Structure 1
Amino acid sequence: MSRRPTSTYRLQLTPGFGFAEVAGIAGYLRDLGVSHVYLSPVLEAAPGSRHGYDVTDHSRIREAFGGASGFREMAQTLAAHDLGVVVDIVPNHMNTENPAFWSVLKDGPDSPYAAWFDIAWDEDGKVALPVLGDDTEPVVDGDVLRYHEHAYPHPGHYRLVDWRQGPGYRRFFDVSTLIGLRVEDPAVLFATHEVIFWLLDEGLVDGLRVDHPDGLADPRGYLERLRARTGEKTWTVVEKILIGPERLPADWPCDGTTGYEVLNRVNGLFVDPAGGEALVRLFTELTGQPADYRRVMLESKREVLELFFRPEVERLAASAGCPPDAVRELLAAMPVYRAYVVPGEPPPPESVEIVELAAASCSAAVAPLVHEVLYGSAETITRFQQACGPVMAKGVEDTALYRWFPLACLNEVGGEPDVFGTSVAEFHEFCAGMLPYTMTTLSTHDTKRSEDVRARLSVLSELPEEWADAVAQWSAAVSFDPHLDYLAWQNLMAAWPISAERFADYLLKAAREAKTRISWVAPDPVYEEGLRTFAEAAVRLPIGKFTERIEPYAMANSLGAKLVQLMMPGVPDVYQGNEKSDFSLVDPDNRRPVGFPAEPATPWDAAKLLVTRQALRLRRRLGGGAAYLPLEADGPAAGHAVAFARGEDGHGLPRAVAVATRLPVRLARTGWGGTSLSLPPGTWRDLLTGARHTGRVPLAHLLGQYPVALLERHDL
């Protein structure tokens, strides 16, 4: 029988770290306090894949991990340690090199798998494959057509076209090797989920993480069919990225999101809004970029629409009967990943408002399109919904966030880099509206940098002048590209110590994503060599002196964010290795192997491991869905604390209290003074220090040993 998690621990499976290795750390994870192990995709994927989102066969568990028998043995070992399993599933797409698509390429619309894929057949019943890149001629080898590393059935109902043209099928973002699945067709859904359903039926899996629901034709309908098959007791969260005040649609039958909106709000608690103006000024002086982020974001979205999404735009324009320019204009103006309009239903008022506000910033040519995407044909409504996400992902996450970065810890998935800080009152209000079993997180396999890199960067919001002086000194010694250097200094300091090779690899990806000098499709060997030379010179500078200077404050931010995330409403996830300090950058850097057990090597490690272990164990004792009660400190430094109580006993009294320090630099200048916190009735034991407290407690005393406190009622 499935059970809901009290916490999860995300593990990235690879050919070198499979089911047997997961089973081998069961004792460690149980001791840490997690209730469920959360696995990256487990189905058969492209050979050598280190992420698993490129599924090739939905009928098999990946052999490189140990296959079906290995999964069962792992699950049984975990169960013996009172640990459940959550798996990551990928309903939106699969790798193009799979038997089903091979059948489609061979037999065209007559293939029994033709309904699996979202294909735009041409007049001859063929599908365009964008692979041609030079003068090399395809070669027929028996019943196979070969072109470089590609192989296709011969003869076949397809045509090879230039790789820049775009495919004749819906894909994942701009990745032509990942073809969109039509899980809106119940037969396709069940065929592509048969192993997942078997794992649930056998009791080997308790929960599901659904990848990229925004790509689906009908996310709500998919989740309804999924829940009807898996049952109410299967915990299900969706990788839905919410922007600003946006909330998960109430009619989506799932337990919540994977937590990016939580990440950004927790991160904001430790950013000082007073430093925003100075940091933006420094950024514009160093880079020449405008101070207006929204302008950069709009320009970035327009660029990627032209670069990557011509087939999607043209297909949508033909469906809507509107010019492609109008389609591009409205898609660029959309502020969210989806507007949640369902064909055949009146559009929700929130959806109408989103689209109309976007259109208000566009030319009059967009007006007819607005009506079509809200009230038009099913194809137009669906195509528009499916196009919004890729444009946001490529235009914002993979372009604008690499162009506009006054404070890079704000440049996260779903984040708004021009919004400096979250107040305690705003945070409590957000928590009051959270779903009880939504996932919370600070780091994932897709975050732009780890939580502890962000903890260091957050300190800069309290020291903008000192930071500007340090950057001036480093820039005078080494410089390369004004569009990139300031991002380099932030990440070099915050990820310190880091090798020249890791740092150069990060900068190369950042430059390609920014697309100001090079890109993934337009390399420049001279620039790239210069970038590596810059990285090698930069790591030889005394960057560590600044990192050491801010380390006590960064550690306070790290422990505070960790405690808040682990104890706030929802189901907390710990990304592999982040129970101790971790200074990783964007993937693939953050998917490097993790050593287990996580032995502490520094005081930061030891403190973070202690906080994580005690909080997760307490969450298991509290159970899921515990009540949340904001607590307010009283005194001159009250704004430097965030505190709340969790759970209720039989008399309605809280069972746990979490307290975290925020904005530690300013606090160090003034001290806590007479600031205190009135604890709920009872005797309270600090699980980090063993100290006991009751009544009104001075924060200087409560937070004297650690910048955080985790209290449990001792008189229960």
Structure 2
Amino acid sequence: MDRRPITSTYRLQLRGPRADAAGRAFTFADAEAQVPYLADLGVSHLYLSPILTAVPESNHGYDVIDPTTVNPELGGMAGLQSLADAAHAAGLGLIIDLVPNHLGVAEPRLNEWWWDVLTHGRDSQFEPYFDIDWHADNGAGGKMGLPVLGAEDDLDKLEVDRSGEEPLLRYYDHAFPIAPGTDAGTPQEVHDRQSYRLMYWRDGIIGYRRFFSVNGLAGIRQEHPVVFEHTHRVVRELLAADVIDGVRIDHPDGLSDPFEYLRELRRLLGEDKWLVIEKILGAAEPLDPRLDVDGTTGYDALREFDNVFYNRDSRDRMSILALQQSGSPWDRAAVAATEQRLKYEIARGELAAEVRRLARALRRDNWSTGGGNVGEDELIDTICELVAAMPVYRADYESLSRTTSTVIAEMVARFPSRVFALDLISAGLVADGEAATRFAQVCGAVMAKGVEDTTFYRACRLVSSQEVGGDPGRYGMSSAEFHLLQSERARLWPKSMTTLSTHDTKRGEDVRARILGLSDVSGDWAEAVRSWTSITPAPDGATGYFLLQNIIGVWPVDGVVTDELRARLHAYAEKAMREAAMRTNWFEPDEDFEMAVRHWIDALLDGPLHDDITAFVARIAPAGWVTGWSRKLLQLTGPGIPDTYQGTEFVEDSLVDPDNRRFIDYAARAAALAELAHGAAPSPVAAPETPAEPPEGFDQDAADRVKLMVVHEGLRLRRERPGSFVGGTYQPVFAEGTGERYLVGSARGPVDGEQDIITLVTRRPIGLQAEGGWGDTTVTLPEGLWTDRFTGRSWSGTVTVASVFDTYPFALLVADEKEG
């Protein structure tokens, strides 16, 4: 069967048996078994998590140890080819996830290239592959510093292991190579002869560029042609064998020159292959049009799809509640101040090694005669202040020209005493050499760690806004702004990926849908929170309020608390608390505080508040379902290529990784889809007057089936009419009447034809119900007869929204084909 053009993707998380305590796996063969179901669902392409050989215990695949082979634990090249054959036979294509920025080095012996560099130092053939600091002033005496020692005097714990074919230098469970002919003498003497130096981890001396602050992921240098060729050998083979149709690129901002890398990759792929990049855009940041890509991986779209469903009128009340519970209103000013402060702290702390290396590069690249009187501490502190003030991940894209110079000018005004340090930095950056590259790389790492990984675990006005690429200082957007952004995507980036959930989102799409619904019941929510915290207070107010919103997001509608849910919440709380780094952290965990928080969670699950929380959730959950269905339909019929993350064709309650990488019950989904195919339509959802109240007996299982119907029909329609979606036109559709602000609608059609698809969805169902439902609200349809894909009913002219939504709170109208 001929493969279809790309109209949608379905993300699959692959893993080998060693990544799961019970030995479960999801390999190429397991993916192949789901091809019939996914073809029936309506997707055009399977979107695979990283396929190259990674650390055996990895449950994500981003810690690649051998980029020249397909992971044998997943089935190797033969397994991938078999999956591709099955997919192609079903008319589906494959997209792969590529990790060009770094390799896994946590266990050095697993990575042949890294092991060779540790063995031979600068003489290794693979030395140019890694971004290593060999300068004499690197803090490790010109050797490569490895931050592995648990104490400053732990070199005394070294041993030489001669039990194998080659001698090894051992430090507890860590093993390191010994260069040929250097194994004589004490372990300490042997260590001193190596090209690496084992360092106390708290000293912050790290001799290689990392992925953010992860010591076990070493950056590689794609700017070297030999490195690009070697690391993309598998991609070249897959292209030659016609196995893949596109590539997703992980974290291009970590590379030395993302623009040049992507240009080279496009040459390799060809113009016909799909290429999207994990570029995290700020709310006002454009994707550089010079990049030879089809778009981003969709976090910008996720932000837009969420924001249009907020009740902006509740902003002040939610800010006051956050202030009472956490000590901060978490408004725009508070979020911005916290982000800048935490970015500075990250630059001074976790990323101090990268900042020091940047400082040395700035001095080397300084072309001016000034700067000699700027002390090391002053320079480093000024760098940290500058990096903290940068508003984007990296500013060396042409579309962001003058960003860095503007921030420097603002700093000169704020810190006149630092003018000489800023001059030195400016002179180093203008040389456009190593310093400029390292500055861009450090900015991205500091932004990720300071904002996504720290601020977003502290802010708590409404945690659903704290997503990758999110803007929690903002509180929703109008439907007009939403439509403007969608029309821009349709015009500028029609093949960009759009998404609602990923392997990196901090909460799944349906969890966020329920939480953002709190903005429509802000008064009742505030009253409930004050009551609950007085009865069962958290060990810390800010921590408790943050966690409480997430607990509400996953609380079962029937109130049945399973052991699995309890364990998941405990694990989530531990990660969230340590990422926030307010009362505990990853480096020095406060076990007493963490235990107290676990006890508090158990008290909510088992104690006197259980029934109150269940009743509150039962009230808001249906509105969350409506929001989830509506938002999914907007994504599926909007501009771009929509991705469905594994399992989210049902209502799903995932939290942050690894929770969102759990195994999916595909059998249940396939059975439900088969029922749909045999005409078993989901139960009616709600009356138009009470859109937030489903009929008696409508439960989680029914909600799953409605969402499956939405996904199935949306994907099928995209497949049937690709020209109306990929590169098609986009126009907003507005309602008129008392409920007009609660409807979001759009019209799509081919560029050279008339609009033939209209999407209508409900926005803020609780607010709508409070105003009496749709009432006299109408929508005027374009000329012709329009049939709803969900109900089979046809409409024309001006119709009441209540009549269109009398079965489901959304509609997907398709123009009947005209005769002749």
Q: What is the TM-score when the length of structure 1 is the normalising length? A: 0.96
Q: State the partner residue of 1:13.
A: 14
Q: State the partner residue of 2:354.
A: 312
**Matches of 2:52 and 2:216, distance apart in 1:** 17
Q: Contact 1:333–1:359 (CA<8 Å) still a contact in 2?
A: no
Amino acid at match of 2:651: S
Q: Contact 1:2–1:203 (CA<8 Å) still a contact in 2?
A: no
Q: State the partner residue of 2:117.
A: 104
**Structure 1, unaligned stretches of length 5 or more?**
none
Shift of 1:290: 5.2
**Matches of 2:777 and 2:101, distance apart in 1:** 52
**Matches of 1:659 and 1:373, distance apart in 2:** 54
**Matches of 1:562 and 1:347, distance apart in 2:** 32
**Matches of 1:225 and 1:443, distance apart in 2:** 30
Moved more, 95-104 or 251-260: 95-104
Q: State the partner residue of 1:488.
A: 547
Moved more, 146-155 or 58-67: 146-155
Shift of 1:634: 1.6
Q: State the partner residue of 1:592.
A: 662
Q: Confirm or deny that 1:83 pairs with 2:92.
A: yes
Q: State the partner residue of 1:535.
A: 601
Deviation sequence 1:26-57 (CA, Å, 0-9, x none): 01101110000000000000121100000000
Q: Contact 1:682–1:694 (CA<8 Å) still a contact in 2?
A: yes
Q: Which of 700, 718, 727 is equivalent to 1:619? A: 718
**Matches of 2:411 and 2:40, distance apart in 1:** 50
Shift of 1:417: 0.6
Amino acid at match of 1:606: R
Moved more, 230-239 or 532-541: 532-541
Q: Contact 2:732–2:746 (CA<8 Å) still a contact in 1?
A: yes
Q: Confirm or deny that 1:502 pairs with 2:568.
A: yes
Q: Secondary structure at the match of 1:178?
A: strand
Moved more, 47-56 or 119-128: 119-128
Amino acid at match of 2:390: M
Q: State the partner residue of 1:547.
A: 617
**Matches of 1:519 and 1:359, distance apart in 2:** 35
User: Where do 1:52-451 residues align within 5 Å?
Assistant: 52-96=61-105, 97=108, 98-123=111-136, 125-134=142-151, 135=154, 137-142=157-162, 143-155=167-179, 156-164=194-202, 165-289=204-328, 291=330, 292-321=334-363, 323-341=379-397, 348-349=401-402, 352-353=405-406, 356=409, 365=418, 367-368=422-423, 371-372=426-427, 374-434=429-489, 435-451=493-509
Deviation sequence 1:644-666 (CA, Å, 0-9, x none): 1112386x211211111112111
Shift of 1:147: 1.3
Aligned length: 712
Q: State the partner residue of 1:515.
A: 581
Shift of 1:4: 4.7
Q: Secondary structure at the match of 1:548?
A: helix
**Matches of 1:80 and 1:148, distance apart in 2:** 51
**Matches of 2:123 and 2:101, distance apart in 1:** 23
Q: State the partner residue of 1:710.
A: 812
Shift of 1:166: 3.8
**Matches of 2:62 and 2:408, distance apart in 1:** 31
Deviation sequence 1:342-365 (CA, Å, 0-9, x none): 8xxx98345644665677666652
Q: Secondary structure at the match of 1:316?
A: helix
Amino acid at match of 1:71: L
Q: State the partner residue of 2:188.
A: none
Amino acid at match of 2:542: H
Q: Which of 757, 780, 790 is equivalent to 1:688? A: 790
Deviation sequence 1:140-186 (CA, Å, 0-9, x none): 11321111222111133111001122410000000011000000111
Q: State the partner residue of 1:563.
A: 633
Q: Confirm or deny that 1:606 pairs with 2:630.
A: no
**Matches of 2:411 and 2:479, distance apart in 1:** 30
**Matches of 2:123 and 2:777, distance apart in 1:** 74
**Matches of 2:86 and 2:255, distance apart in 1:** 35
Q: State the partner residue of 1:661.
A: 762
Give percent identity, aligned residues only.
Answer: 42
Tell me: CA distance 1:257–1:357, structure 2 relative to 1, closer, same or farther (3 Å): farther
Amino acid at match of 2:741: G
Shift of 1:633: 1.4
User: Where do 1:640-679 residues align within 5 Å?
Assistant: 640-648=742-750, 652-670=753-771, 671-679=773-781
Shift of 1:534: 1.4
**Matches of 1:511 and 1:302, distance apart in 2:** 20
Q: Which has the larger radius of gyration?
A: 2
Q: Contact 1:356–1:370 (CA<8 Å) still a contact in 2?
A: no
**Matches of 2:198 and 2:590, distance apart in 1:** 27
Shift of 1:187: 1.0
Runs of 4+ in 1 over 4 A off after TM superposition: 1-4, 349-364
Moved more, 316-325 or 558-567: 316-325
Let me know the Cα RMSD of the aligned residues.
1.8
Q: Secondary structure at the match of 1:203?
A: coil
Tell me: CA distance 1:8–1:363, structure 2 relative to 1, closer, same or farther (3 Å): farther
Shift of 1:367: 3.3
Tell me: CA distance 1:412–1:103, structure 2 relative to 1, closer, same or farther (3 Å): same
Moved more, 1-10 or 569-578: 1-10
Shift of 1:307: 2.0
**Matches of 2:299 and 2:409, distance apart in 1:** 26
Q: Secondary structure at the match of 1:643?
A: strand
Shift of 1:621: 1.4
Q: Confirm or deny that 1:38 pairs with 2:47.
A: yes
Q: Which of 11, 36, 44 is equivalent to 1:27? A: 36
**Matches of 1:372 and 1:588, distance apart in 2:** 44
**Matches of 1:474 and 1:704, distance apart in 2:** 37
**Matches of 2:424 and 2:456, distance apart in 1:** 29
Amino acid at match of 1:594: I
Tell me: CA distance 1:362–1:180, structure 2 relative to 1, closer, same or farther (3 Å): farther
Shift of 1:715: 2.5
Q: Contact 1:456–1:554 (CA<8 Å) still a contact in 2?
A: yes
Q: What is the TM-score when the length of structure 2 is the normalising length? A: 0.84
Amino acid at match of 1:396: V
Deviation sequence 1:303-327 (CA, Å, 0-9, x none): 2222201111111112223610110
Q: Secondary structure at the match of 1:237?
A: strand
Moved more, 685-694 or 476-485: 476-485
Q: Contact 2:513–2:625 (CA<8 Å) still a contact in 1?
A: yes
**Matches of 2:428 and 2:626, distance apart in 1:** 48
Shift of 1:476: 2.1
